Structure 1
Amino acid sequence: MSFINELEVKFRDLNEALSFVLAILSLAVAFMSFNPLYLGIAVLTATTAIVPHELAHRQTARNYGCNSRFVLSFKGFLVTFLINFLSRYYIHGILIFVAGYTAILCRFGLMGEELSGKTAFAGPVTNIIIAIISLFASAFLFGNPLVNAILLQIFAFNSYVAFFNLIPIPPLDGFKVLRWNKLAWGVAILISFILTFLVR
């Protein structure tokens, strides 16, 4: 077994909480700063985009009687960290998240296209809901610029994560959603596109 494969196995065996922390950092690094306030905002916004998304996958699978947990991939984490880090300095506007995934284990024959699609759909929909709530909340907080800025950052992060994950190429959620229900995929990616690129 190669060194990379050994690290892949070790990362998959990390407990879920530590996996989430490392996944959050791999996304937040694109906006990190030595300023403690900006650092805190980066971590907070990355957390709102990743944790609810993955928990939605996990809980949907569990609702159907499957075992599930968030798993960190070493190669995915490394690619996510490096590209997001470089995007801060060299390639602005590029942001990816392939650091981990929700591993799902179901009884034989249960994990078909429908369950796979529904489980995948839950993540981006959660991001869309968080984005919309954050956008509306920011509209009613004229007197607190800091809170308003944080809410708009949460809105932007969640909109982008929803849109990125709905791109219909494996292993992203969009591939599974499109295979299961073209209408659900079309509505979701249209909404996430509008939120990401047209709402300012």
Structure 2
Amino acid sequence: MENFMAFNFQELPFVIISLVIAFTIHEFAHAFTAYLCGDPTAKNQGRLTLSPIAHLDPIGTILLLIAGFGWARPVPVDRRNFKRPHLYGILVSIAGPLSNILIAVVGIIVFYSLFTTGVVDGVSEKGIDFIDRLINMLVYLNVLLFVFNLLPVPPLDGYRVLEDLAPDRVRAKMMKYEHFGVIIFLILVLTPLDRYTIYPIFNTIVPAVANTVDNWIRPFFESGI
């Protein structure tokens, strides 16, 4: 049965907890930023909340566990409520990925805080193993989501940023043919082609980003600051 899962059963509890946190905060960040920029659409639809029920998509979550690719419920945004549609659109789009890298940063800080201050000295070996695996999975998945969502292909946040950087005339053409891009994207990530497209990116960029963040934070704890 494990052969049909993107993660093995031993990892599953850590994956589920990490994804619930990552997806919920990611979508909340979109909704909150849109609200700050003048669009109450997400708030009016009950999405300005940290309740996972409001943000998780059952099919997208299950598919991520099985295939390693999934999604949360997209936050509704009405650009007509923005005084500066392009700028505010970019801010709303990048808010989600930035929230994921922030979670990863907090996770690394918590990890070093726990293991360098003696907080876990009295915790059992199983308890320490649980904490270690949970934080590592939380960091890994959030860095992965940060990188993944910044890819400039529809329907990801990176593509939305690209749309808002383009002139209105170009943006209109991009939106017209966007559905073709979505189909191509799904083919690239849900077929054996993913070994030559998505996974090479993940296998290089995700570890590089995670190591960069770790290398930036670790010295503060090693020096006793």
The TM-score range, normalised by the shorter chain, is 0.5 to 0.7
Identity of aligned residues (%): 24
Q: Which letter maps to 2:157?
A: D
In structure 1, what is the Cα distance between the partners aligned to 2:91 and 2:203? 20
Please name the residue that 1:163 is paired with.
147
Q: Deviations over 1:68-107 (max 9, x none)?
A: 1558798xx646644641x4xxxxxxx3233421111354
The number of equivalent residue pairs is 150
Q: Which letter maps to 2:131?
A: V
Please name the residue that 2:131 is paired with.
147
TM-score by length of 1: 0.61
Please name the residue that 2:34 is paired with.
61
Deviation, structure 1 residue 61: 0.5
Structure 1 spans left out of the alignment, 5+ residues: 1-28, 88-94, 183-191
Please name the residue that 2:102 is paired with.
129
Question: CA-atom RMSD, angstroms?
Answer: 3.3
Q: Residues 130, 72 of structure 1: CA spacing in aligned structure 2 closer, same or farther, 3 A cutoff?
A: closer
Structure 2 residue 78 is the aligned partner of structure 1 residue 105: yes
Assess if the C-alpha contact under 8 Å between 1:65 and 1:106 holds in 2: no
Assess if the C-alpha contact under 8 Å between 1:45 and 1:154 holds in 2: yes
Runs of 4+ in 1 over 6 A off after TM superposition: 71-74, 192-195
Deviation, structure 1 residue 57: 0.1
In structure 2, what is the Cα distance between the partners aligned to 1:31 and 1:107? 41
The structure with the greater share of residues assigned to strand is: 1
Deviation, structure 1 residue 46: 0.6
Please name the residue that 1:31 is paired with.
7
Q: Deviations over 1:14-70 (max 9, x none)?
A: xxxxxxxxxxxxxxx74363x6xx543222111121000000000000112212155
Deviation, structure 1 residue 176: 2.1
Assess if the C-alpha contact under 8 Å between 2:24 and 2:55 holds in 1: no
Assess if the C-alpha contact under 8 Å between 1:61 and 1:104 holds in 2: yes
TM-score by length of 2: 0.55
Counterparts of 1:169-184 in structure 2 under 5 Å?
Answer: 169-180=153-164
Residue 141 of structure 1: SS of its match in structure 2? helix
Pair member with larger Rg = 2
Assess if the C-alpha contact under 8 Å between 2:38 and 2:82 holds in 1: no
